[in-house]
């Protein structure tokens, strides 16, 4: 770096230039009692105070080492758990999505096993799991309904060629539980034999014992845990297509 550039940087102040607002938002999915749920928080501040919204917020310029950490920090604050899967979906920016002005948000998608969230009194704001099927009736803040749709779309298409839905289940799980997770995400019944053949041939599971049936009925099922290579794995053919 030459002295010319040093001089430039010494006098550079980003506040001298108009800039959009920048935030990070996350759609956190889980599965509970045969329902897909998304995490929503009640906004404690303006704008849209009192409405339901996605967990999200501004980058902490002192603490966050990158925007993934921004997303992880908020996820930890709202759920108290490390997400086994966090992945970027898209970035949306336009002048109308936030009443404060030109605004850009990077949207993340997270999958976690169900964990109750009522007693997470990290702040005065409410945090709830809300059924995905019913979010559209909710009058969400900003364009967050649209963001949830984008994340859902991404999750669905990834479900067709990866095994990511494993992340919404508590370990260990049975193949039947896993198939139900896939079916809920794809919104479509899958053929049992094809499903098992596909998943087992991928070598992403380790058998770790046998379950007992909850209601005592039927043959006990094998229990599995996913291997860490899960997130890198992609099938060469889509499922249910």
Of 198, 230, 231, 233, the one binding DNA (CB under 7 A) is 198
24 in Cβ contact with 56 (< 8 Å): yes
| Tokens describing residue 84 | 């086994």
Of 44, 80, 82, 101, the one binding a second copy (CB under 8 A) is 101
Could you give the C-alpha distances from 52 to 97, 174, 238, in angstroms and in order? Answer: 15, 34, 35
Whole-angstrom Cα distance, residue 41 to residue 127? 4
Whole-angstrom Cα distance, residue 160 to residue 175? 17
Judged by CB under 8 A, the chain residues 104 through 133 that form the site for a second copy are 104, 106
Of 80, 146, 191, 209, the one binding DNA (CB under 7 A) is 191
Place of tokens 């096993």: 113
What DSSP line would sit under 155-197, residue for residue? HHHHHTTS-GGGGGSPSSEEHHHHHHHHHHHHTS---HHHHHH
Judged by CB under 8 A, the chain residues 11 through 70 that form the site for a second copy are 12, 14-15, 17-22, 46-49, 58-59, 61, 65-67, 70
Binding mask of the shown chain, residues 134 to 153, with x at each position contacting DNA by CB under 7 A: --------------------
Look at residue 81 and give the partner it binds from DNA, a second copy, none, a contact being a CB closer than 5 to 8 Å depending on partner kind.
none
Footprint of DNA (CB under 7 A): 174-176, 190-194, 196-198, 201, 213, 215-222, 235-237, 239-241
Footprint of a second copy (CB under 8 A): 1, 4-5, 8-9, 12, 14-15, 17-22, 46-49, 58-59, 61, 65-67, 70, 88, 90-95, 99-102, 104, 106, 236-238, 241
């Amino acid at each position: 770096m030459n002295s010319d550039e040093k001089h430039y940087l010494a006098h550079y102040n980003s506040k001298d230039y108009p800039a959009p607002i920048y935030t990070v938002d996350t759609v956190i999915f889980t599965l509970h009692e045969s329902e897909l749920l998304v995490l929503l928080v009640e906004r404690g501040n303006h704008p849209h105070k009192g409405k339901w919204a996605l967990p999200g917020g501004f980058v902490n310029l002192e603490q966050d080492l990158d925007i993934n950490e921004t997303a992880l920090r908020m996820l930890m604050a709202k759920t108290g758990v490390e997400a086994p899967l966090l992945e970027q979906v898209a970035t949306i920016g336009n002048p109308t999505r936030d009443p404060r002005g030109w605004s850009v948000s990077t949207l993340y998608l997270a999958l976690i096993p169900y964990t109750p969230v009522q007693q997470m009194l990290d702040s005065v704001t409410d945090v709830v799991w809300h059924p995905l099927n019913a979010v559209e009736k909710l009058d969400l803040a900003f364009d967050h309904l649209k963001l949830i749709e984008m994340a859902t779309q991404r999750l669905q298409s990834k479900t067709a060629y990866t095994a990511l839905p494993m992340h919404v289940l508590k370990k260990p799980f049975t193949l039947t539980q896993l198939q139900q997770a896939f079916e809920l995400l794809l919104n479509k019944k899958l053929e049992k034999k094809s499903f098992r053949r596909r998943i087992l041939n991928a070598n992403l599971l380790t058998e770790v014992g046998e379950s007992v049936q909850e209601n005592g009925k039927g043959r006990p099922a094998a229990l599995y845990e996913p291997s860490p290579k899960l997130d890198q794995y992609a099938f060469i053919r889509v499922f249910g297509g």
